[in-house]
Amino acid sequence: MKVYNTLTKRKEELIPVKEGEIKMYVCGPTVYNLIHIGNARPMIVFDTVRRYLEYKGYQVNYVSNFTDVDDKIIQKALEEGVSAEEISSRYIEECKKDMAGMQVLPATTHPLATQEIDGMIEMIRTLIEKGFAYPAADGTVYFRVNRFLEYGKLSHKNLEDLQSGFRSLQVSGEEQKESPLDFVLWKPKKEGEPYWESPWCQGRPGWHIECSVMAKKYLGEEIDIHAGGEDLIFPHHENEIAQSECCNGKPFARYWLHNAFLNIDNKKMSKSLGNFFTVREISKEYDLQVLRFFMLNAHYRSPLNFSRELMESSKNALERICNGVEYLKDCEKAAGREAPSEQEAGQKQEIDGYVKKFEEAMEDDFNTADAIAAVFELVRFANSSLSDASARELLQYALEKLQMLCGLLGLRTEQKEEILEEEIEALIEERQAARAAKDFARADAIREELKARGILLKDTREGVKWKKA
């Protein structure tokens, strides 16, 4: 199995630190709002990587954090007049709902930065003792970048590039730094901010130290795969390497996997451009399985362009796969004989060939686009070569393989249960009554139930409108 390693800029054979086990860390979201579709890409991509590694027999320890202390969280809390903890707790729960909708499996561990402060203080203390970090007069602790001779090895930037890159990341107290390249490990509190006691000052950790500590605690000093969006390569992942390798005295991660950016209608996603979409907004128009299919229909290292046209195309393509599954189920029910003929034994080998194509695609740097192409080949074969005249055993085999491949991609293949118009109208009426009675929990539950059954509601001045997803 080959993976593209950002560190070496080439495909390499995947050889884990410990045979049969994969220790994998994926940077999670900062939880100050609903996740957007840019956040969704690494979640879906690396969930699929995890699924395939488990299929190949690896025991995968998959860790993905929630950054629950950050300037944006604090700002949101100040705007709403609530605690930062209330903001982060709210949006962690909302994030988990969206992840479930996208069929993203829960991580082995979802650590929270605020619960790992002691470990961060300990790592910072070790870095100071080893001469890789220093406290300034106001209690800020900086990492000495020039002491780590391999700094820049992940981003492949030279020292001048790094110098200019850090100019946009300057913090107050810049004059305290020994070098403009040095970055913050710990910073003093500001008025109204959450803080923790430390040997240097009352304050909070820098962003980069959080992931280094959580990866070490839950996976160990040397891990197999570290993954995230390509926007994290520099400075976040570069700084993680520096901190971890200087503290632990060994390589941090063997393989670095990064997904490319997501654009909207060929433009960068931006609130100012009005092309910013949350996963929750997309879920009101499409089953989130369609979003997952759309994300996987391109190689994870290729830039991906989101548009309504492409989402409609993904919806239709996913329906073809689901229809193929239903066709095989119907044929199996109607099949008149059990055992396959000699000719059908050859058809079974043909099915195995499509599975092999799928595996070859996934083992070439997790090429989900080619893997999906193999799924479609299997669907076409089933539709054209199998029928209720085929042996039940062969039909079951084809169905089992098709569902297995879809499962490895995290795609559901069952079609939604048909719902009668009278039933829809009755549930809408019940929802309206619940809203009038201020029972908003029940009203929301009815909306979610209808959405799960493929019915989308829209509240208008003329009343509630509905349509099929």
For residue 264, the cross-strand partners are 267, 306
Q: Is the pLDDT of residue 172 over 50?
A: no
**Euclidean distance between CA atoms 300 and 304, whole angstroms:** 8
Average pLDDT score over residue span 96-105: 95
Q: Does residue 171 surpass a pLDDT of 50?
A: no
96, 56 in Cβ contact below 8 A? no
pLDDT of residue 436: 87
Average pLDDT over residues 330-340: 90
Give the rounded percent of residues in the chain with a pLDDT score beyond 70.
95
More confident residue, 421 or 89: 89
Q: What is the pLDDT of residue 418?
A: 57
Residue 422 predicted with pLDDT over 50? yes
Which tens digits make up the pLDDT trace of 280-311? Answer: 999 999 999 999 999 999 999 999 999 999 99
What's the rounded mean pLDDT across residues 252-274? 88
Best-predicted range by mean pLDDT (50-54, 342-346, 411-415, 441-445): 50-54
Q: Report how far apart, in Å, the C-alpha atoms of 394 and of each of 348, 373, 374, 389, 403 are.
A: 7, 22, 19, 11, 14
Predicted confidence (pLDDT) per residue in 360-401, tens digit = 999 999 999 999 999 999 999 999 999 999 999 999 999 999
**Beta-bridge partners for 467:** 456
Report the chain's C-alpha Rg in angstroms. 25
What does each C-alpha distance from 11 to 331, 336, 364, 381, 429 come to in angstroms? Answer: 43, 49, 9, 32, 57
Q: What sign does the dihedral 11-305-30-278 (CA atoms) show? A: negative
What's the confidence (pLDDT) of residue 444? 85
- Of 154-158, 185-189, 349-353, the one with minimum mean pLDDT is 154-158
pLDDT at position 166 is 52
